[in-house]
C-alpha cells in the first residue's frame, strides 16, 4: 500500500485591496500605540507638575510659619528674641508668665526680649516650694506665652504660641540663688484659646501646687 502524496495548497498572492487593508490595520495599531504613549506621558507630566506644586506650596507654608529664636544676653539676665525668618518684622509682643510668677503680661514694642527681672521673684518662690517638696533642681523650664504682632509681605499678622524658657539656678553664699536664663524652645504653636490658661496648665503639670 503506497502513501498518497499530500497536495500542497497553492500560494495565493494578496490582492491590492487586501494589502491596503493590512497596511491600514498596521497604521491604526501604530496610531493607537502613539496615542497611548502620549497619554501616558501626559499623565506622568501632570503627576510631576502636581508634586512640584505641592512641594512649592509646602515650602511656602514653611516660609510663612512664625517661629521665635532666643539668645541669652547679659550673663543670662535676658533672652533676646528674633523671628527665625528675617523677612518677618516684630512690632509688639505680650509676654505671658504663669500666674504664680506674675499676674499681668509684659508688653513690649520694637524690642522683643524676656527679662529675668520680670518674673525672678515668683520663680524663686516656686523653686523654694520645689525644694521643700524634694523636687528642686539646678535647671528647669518655664512655660511662657508670646502673643506677637508682626509684619510679613506687607501684611500685619499675629502669632499666639507657648515657649519653654530654659533657666538654671546658681547658689550664692548668704544671697540666695541667682537665676540665669539659658534659651528658648517651642512648646505649642497656634494657641486658639486663652494663652494665660495654656501657660498655667503647662506650669501646673511641671510644678508642685502652692
CA angle, 207 as apex, 206 and 208 as ends, to 5°?
A: 135
- How does pLDDT run across 134-144, given as a tens digit for each residue? 444 577 899 99
- Out of 71-80, 100-109, 124-133, least confident range: 124-133
Residue 55's pLDDT is 63
Residue 134's pLDDT is 46
Cα–Cα distance measured from residue 43 to residue 62, given in angstroms and rounded to the nearest whole number: 29
Strand pairing category for 178-188 and 68-73 = unpaired
Could you tell me the pTM of the whole model? 0.66
Residue 210 in this model has a pLDDT that exceeds 50? no
Amino acid at each position: 500500500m503506497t502513501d498518497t502524496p499530500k497536495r500542497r495548497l497553492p500560494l495565493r498572492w494578496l490582492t491590492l485591496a487586501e494589502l491596503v487593508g493590512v497596511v491600514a490595520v498596521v497604521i491604526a495599531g501604530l496610531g493607537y500605540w502613539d496615542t497611548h504613549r502620549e497619554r501616558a506621558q501626559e499623565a506622568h507630566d501632570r503627576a510631576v507638575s502636581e508634586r512640584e506644586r505641592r512641594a512649592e506650596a509646602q515650602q511656602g507654608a514653611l516660609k510663612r510659619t512664625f517661629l521665635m529664636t532666643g539668645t541669652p544676653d547679659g550673663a543670662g539676665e535676658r533672652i533676646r528674641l528674633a523671628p527665625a525668618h528675617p523677612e518677618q518684622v516684630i512690632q509688639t509682643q505680650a509676654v505671658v508668665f504663669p500666674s504664680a510668677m506674675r499676674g499681668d503680661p509684659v508688653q513690649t514694642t520694637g524690642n522683643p526680649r524676656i527679662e529675668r527681672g520680670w518674673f525672678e521673684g515668683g520663680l524663686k518662690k516656686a523653686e523654694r516650694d520645689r525644694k521643700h517638696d524634694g523636687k528642686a533642681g539646678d535647671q528647669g523650664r518655664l512655660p511662657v506665652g508670646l502673643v506677637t504682632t508682626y509684619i510679613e509681605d506687607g501684611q500685619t499678622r499675629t502669632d499666639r504660641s507657648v515657649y519653654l524658657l530654659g533657666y538654671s539656678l546658681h547658689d550664692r553664699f548668704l544671697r540666695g540663688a541667682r537665676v540665669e536664663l539659658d534659651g528658648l524652645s517651642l512648646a505649642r504653636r497656634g494657641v486658639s484659646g486663652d494663652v494665660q490658661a495654656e501657660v498655667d496648665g503647662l506650669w501646673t503639670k511641671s510644678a508642685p501646687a502652692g
